[in-house]
Chains A and B, each alone.
Chain A
Amino acid sequence: MKSLVVTEDLAPLLNKYDVYGPRYTSYPTALQFDESFTEENYCRHAQSSNQLPVPKPLSIYIHIPFCKSLCYYCGCNKIITSKQQMATGYLDYLYQEIEMHGKYYADDRLLQQIHFGGGTPTFLKPQQLREVMEVLAQSFHLGLPDSLEISIEVDPRTVTSNEMTELVKMGFNRISIGVQDFDPDVQKAINRVQSKAQVEDVINSARDNKVDSISIDIIYGLPKQTRASFSNTLDEIIRIKPDRIALYNYAHMPQRIPAQRLIHATDIPGTAEKLEIFTDSIRRLTEAGYIYIGMDHFALPTDSLAIALETGGLQRNFQGYSTHAECDVIGVGVSAISRINDSFSQNVTEISKYKAAILKDDLPIKRGVNLTTDDRIRADLIQQIMCDGIIDYSDFGEGHDIFFHRYFSDELSSLDELADDGLIEINDSGFKVTPKGRIFLRNIAMKFDAYLTQTKLQNTEQPRYSKTL
């Protein structure tokens, strides 16, 4: 697939397709999760997943909800505290949850991926992270070192370079660093002040210790951001040259995310400028040699994501894009989401309820969904759109025992507009997403989402999803 080269003014398309929509880190999305889903359902899916002819490898997501200070833009499940003992109390329960999950899975199912997210996972000291790793090793069979992916989201304000060295030596081989923006005014407006030196110290010590991959998160659309100020941030990012860059969109939804009420609406760049910042970013990063993977992700051509995009091994999961063969995902900790067999399930978000469930020896599951056959077909199709971007009607139909044209007749007739706008190319045997279309993957995928009726999605409605761009 050819990478995106921006040669035209994208503004008209960006304006046209700027609607509210899911990010499709799961299908069905969390809105379809239901509280009738219980531990029994989870257990049944775990057992079925063990009984496939070739069970999938396992992946675990560990949610550490604590942060030392509040970033005003953040919509994650988190608890602001400076008390380190909060973490100690939480970990005791987390370990029990890990042990409970471990008992459900067959011995020959290797744990291939471990991901720490938050909140701020580096709220935990390296010694505590080591303890978590030990509990994982006791409860699961870990994959071999060269195929085991251990990743962590790093807040450079909470990690010294010595601690970073310790983490890499412990086995962490992928780090993603929250930078958001280097501009001091923007940093003040979002209450996340961190120097370039702090960021570079962490990155240098990770590189010195031969970490496999470094990713940097940046956000466009933040308060006080201008085209010029973000251009400076991009200069720095390009100079630092991480393997991957995630360029997220700031979605201002103060009615849903209370912390965002601390952001002055007047400080937020207008729609036109925000789209300019976005197109500038795409242009600058691709000119600097980054391959546009899709959605918010960029990667150097040597990075496994870019190679997977080229060779067709790209996957999408809760953390965005990945190159790993499809795993069953166990989510532990408050609010964590699991994807096991044909189900999604999510843990309770409150620590008190989390601890209460575990004290009773129950998994702290709050809600979930059993996938229907239709869900599975659409989930596979949306995954294929978001990843390879190539749909062959007869291949897909054969793989799912459907006649594609009949099954998706309404959806197919709605694709012409996307084709007219150059986002996809349609021929007799299928359609494929164009390089430009990768900016609009959510809009393309939405055509195949059975839970969306277009009427519910107009901008006038109370938004349930963030904007697509």
Chain B
Amino acid sequence: MANSNSSVSPSFLKCSQCSLSKLCLPVGLDAQDMNALEKIIEASSPYKENETVYQSEDHFERIFAVKSGMFKTVVIDANGNEHIVGFHLPGELFGLDAIYPQKYISSAISLGTSSVCGINYNDLEGLATKLPSLQRQLFSLMSKEVHTSQSMTVEHAADQKLAGFIITLSSRYKQRGYSETRINLMMPRRDIANHLNMAAETVSRLFKRFQKEGLLEIKRTDLNIINMEGLRQLAGCTPSE
């Protein structure tokens, strides 16, 4: 466990001053409730690339909210193969899958320089019983997680999976107030490939094809969506989705 116990200056911890408060746990909380929430949140100092937040089988204590950068959660299947279950953007929670078994199922690893807020789950549970809007937001975020993992279980053609992956990232970034057309793909291509269950070569081949078809442009890790509608169609989204 790297860094997780180091403390950071108090101002860093204030949800009320965090630009992500409209997406993260504090949605709908008033100043006083927010204050109560801040008391149970512990920010870590930034993780460098490829550092572990927790490992699978570690004792469950806290869930995490991404403050900056990106994290991936990884599980190891019965054959010992790693599988990336998700990429987590600022304002998103991870570690929720540990609530039932009371131990972490996945391992969480930073991609690039990234930071998190850790929230003691017992404290959060206690606070949520007193603050209905916190409870509502917690359930809502959990439901979102369930939804995401369900949509991952459906098998699609490779190009459809990759297009869907980009569309999902785009809309998650948009929710966070970032550009929906310009996305920084900071994860290595082998991680995208692993997450979507295809070869790394396929990821690059498809990206090149999407470029040729005028759907998007890629320079280094900068992805620029040119034809959002075309990409949505390829991903099998309905136009209004």
Pairwise interchain contact B204-A108, C-beta atoms closer than 8 A = yes
How far is it, in angstroms, between the C-alpha of A108 and the C-alpha of B221 when the chains are bound?
18
Interface string of B14-56 (1 = CB under 8 A from A): 0000000000000000000000000000000000000000000
User: Which residues 178-204 of B have a CB within 8 angstroms of A?
Assistant: 185, 188-190, 192, 200-201, 203-204
User: Which residues 198-241 of B have a CB within 8 angstroms of A?
Assistant: 200-201, 203-205, 207-208, 211, 218-223
Contact partner of B218 among A50, A51, A54, A399, CB < 8 A?
A54
Pairwise interchain contact A399-B204, C-beta atoms closer than 8 A = no
Pairwise interchain contact A54-B190, C-beta atoms closer than 8 A = no
Pairwise interchain contact A107-B203, C-beta atoms closer than 8 A = no
Which of B190, B203, B204 has the most CB atoms of chain A within a 10 A radius of its CB?
A: B204
B185 partner residues in chain A, CB cutoff 8 A:
53
Pairwise interchain contact B201-A54, C-beta atoms closer than 8 A = no
Pairwise interchain contact A53-B192, C-beta atoms closer than 8 A = yes
| Contact flag A106-B208 (CB < 8 Å), given A51-B189, A53-B192, A399-B219 | no
A51 partner residues in chain B, CB cutoff 8 A:
188-190
Please name the residue on chain B nearest to A48 by beta carbon.
B188
How far is it, in angstroms, between the C-alpha of A199 and the C-alpha of B218 when the chains are bound?
45
A49 to chain B, nearest CB (A): 10
Pairwise interchain contact A52-B189, C-beta atoms closer than 8 A = yes
B111 to chain A, nearest CB (A): 11
A107 partner residues in chain B, CB cutoff 8 A:
201
A55 partner residues in chain B, CB cutoff 8 A:
189, 204
B220 partner residues in chain A, CB cutoff 8 A:
52
How far is it, in angstroms, between the C-alpha of A53 and the C-alpha of B211 when the chains are bound?
12
A54 partner residues in chain B, CB cutoff 8 A:
204, 207-208, 211, 218
Pairwise interchain contact A53-B223, C-beta atoms closer than 8 A = yes
B208 partner residues in chain A, CB cutoff 8 A:
54
Contact partner of B221 among A50, A52, A106, A399, CB < 8 A?
A52
How far is it, in angstroms, between the C-alpha of A292 and the C-alpha of B123 when the chains are bound?
72
Pairwise interchain contact B203-A53, C-beta atoms closer than 8 A = yes
Pairwise interchain contact A53-B190, C-beta atoms closer than 8 A = no
Which of B185, B211, B220, B221 has the most CB atoms of chain A within a 10 A radius of its CB?
A: B220
A52 partner residues in chain B, CB cutoff 8 A:
189, 220-221
User: Which residues 173-230 of A have a CB within 8 angstroms of B?
Assistant: none
User: Which residues 94-138 of A have a CB within 8 angstroms of B?
Assistant: 106-108
How far is it, in angstroms, between the C-alpha of A303 and the C-alpha of B96 when the chains are bound?
61
B12 to chain A, nearest CB (A): 23
Pairwise interchain contact B219-A106, C-beta atoms closer than 8 A = no
Please name the residue on chain A nearest to B191 by beta carbon.
A51
How far is it, in angstroms, between the C-alpha of A54 and the C-alpha of B193 when the chains are bound?
12
A374 to chain B, nearest CB (A): 16
How far is it, in angstroms, between the C-alpha of A51 and the C-alpha of B193 when the chains are bound?
11
B70 to chain A, nearest CB (A): 14
A142 to chain B, nearest CB (A): 17
How far is it, in angstroms, between the C-alpha of A51 and the C-alpha of B205 when the chains are bound?
13
A448 to chain B, nearest CB (A): 20
How far is it, in angstroms, between the C-alpha of A107 and the C-alpha of B205 when the chains are bound?
13
How far is it, in angstroms, between the C-alpha of A444 and the C-alpha of B218 when the chains are bound?
29
B200 partner residues in chain A, CB cutoff 8 A:
106, 108
Enumerate 9 A-B pairs (CB-CB under 8 Å) in ascending A order: A51-B188, A53-B221, A53-B223, A54-B204, A54-B208, A55-B189, A55-B204, A106-B201, A399-B222
Q: Which residues of B contact A (CB under 8 A)?
A: 185, 188-190, 192, 200-201, 203-205, 207-208, 211, 218-223
Q: Which residues of A contact B (CB under 8 A)?
A: 50-55, 106-108, 399
Give me 13 other A-B pairs in contact (C-beta within 8 A), A55-B204, A399-B222 excluded. Answer: A50-B189, A51-B190, A52-B189, A52-B220, A52-B221, A53-B185, A53-B192, A53-B203, A53-B207, A53-B221, A54-B204, A106-B201, A108-B201
Top 4 nearest A-B pairs (CB, nearest first) are A51-B188, A108-B201, A54-B207, A54-B204
